[in-house]
Structure 1
Amino acid sequence: MDTDTPAPGGTAPAPLRVDRIIGNRMDAALAGPLHHLAHHGAIDLLHLDAGDLKRRRLQAVTASGRVVQIALPRSETLADGAVLALDARGAVVVRVRTQSALRLAPRDAADALALGYHAGNLHWAVRFDGAVLVVPLDAPPELYLARLGDLAARLEVAVVDA
């Protein structure tokens, strides 16, 4: 990891260019080196929103202020814990910010069917928690509920951290 290379004509480090993911912090082969670096305060976190994980190209700034330019091939996907840089002096690891979610609980089978129909037609990325539909929020919850129209009034609604 080239953390000490100054940018041409300046004192700030050059941007870190990432064109591949080394692995994940949970990988057995990376656990030892990352543990050692963590004890020396040499792990720099790159906090990303969940929506950014789908991107192949982006520029972001680490917790220490280092600019990271990411250009990944289609075969690689960002994830929480992705190790973007690693050497004896330090590492850069992706951490996903907590995302809010809308929990929608239908009161009966008819409302459940209508909710599923609307969520599918709206192409919402959802997951299920029992009978509850969990929708990750990329906008204020009111916008999601407005898309459901009258159905929203018949649902038990809660906004939670996903």
Structure 2
Amino acid sequence: MEIYTSILGTADAPEHHDALHHLAHKHAVDVVRLSRADLARRRLRIRTDAGREVAIALPRDQKLFEGALLALKEDSALVVRVETERWIRLAPRDAAAALRLGYFCGNLHWRVRFEENDLCVAVETEEHVYLERLEGLLEEGAVTLLSDNGEAG
């Protein structure tokens, strides 16, 4: 198992473009896919897209990010890619419901963002877990679950 102990730069950097482009044509750019939560980790073992088991052990002053270049050799490269985040979008009925929803999500330490009057919750486990927890608010109509396009779902 290979161990990667530093980030060489970013895969998008101009100085790496030609080498990565050449390796990509040879199918020699391997990828480590991480969740957003895994970006905060400094040490982990994971399988690459090619099926290799690798370890990452970074110093405290380095942090993983989308496009982090972990290896660039004459015959191969290893790049970090971050999985697309999924969000549940919730529309509170009124100000009182919004306050209840915000308090509820805060108590559960859910990561949220706001879009206009809606609250979006990052899905960091199975989606049904969130929906089960929100069941009471949804059933009483205090909160409406919206689809990705903003329509009631």
Q: TM-score, normalised by structure 2?
A: 0.82
Identity across matched positions, percent: 45
Tell me, yes or no, if the aligned pair for 1:141 and 1:159 is still in contact at 8 Å. no
Q: Which residue of 1 aligns with 2:20?
A: 34
1:102–1:135 contact (8 Å) kept in structure 2: yes
Q: 2:124 matched to which residue of 1?
A: 138
Gaps of 5+ in 2: 149-153
Alignment coverage as a number of residue pairs: 146
Report the counterpart of residue 77 of structure 1 in structure 2: 63
Aligned with 1:117 (options 99, 103, 111): 103
Task: In structure 2, give the amino acid aligned to 1:71.
Answer: A
State the Cα distance separating 1:28 from its structure 2 match.
2.6
Q: After superposition, where does 1:12-161 map in structure 2 within 5 Å?
A: 15-148=1-134, 150-153=136-139, 154-158=142-146
Aligned-partner residue type, residue 156 of structure 1:
T
Q: Distance in 2 between matches of 1:34 and 1:22?
A: 13
Rounded Cα–Cα distance in structure 2 between residues aligned with 1:63 and 1:159: 31
AA matched with 1:157: L
Please say if residues 105 and 155 of structure 1, whose CA atoms lie closer than 8 Å, have aligned partners that are also in contact: yes
Deviations 1:121-156 (A, max 9, x none): 222111222222221212233322444463233212
User: CA deviation digits over 1:50-92, x for unaligned, max 9?
Assistant: 2222211111111112221011122221122111111221111
For the residues of structure 2 that align with 1:58 and 1:71, how far apart are their CA atoms?
A: 7
> Counterpart of 1:59 in 2: which secondary structure?
strand
Q: Distance in 2 between matches of 1:158 and 1:113?
A: 18
When residues 104 and 82 of structure 1 are mapped into structure 2, their CA distance, relative to the original with a 3 A threshold, is same
1:78-116: CA deviation from partner (whole Å, max 9, x where unpaired): 122111111221111111223432111212222122222
CA distance 1:55–1:112, change in 2 (3 Å): same
1:17 shift after superposition = 0.7
The TM-score with structure 1 as length reference comes to 0.78
Distance of 1:130 and 1:32 partners within structure 2:
42
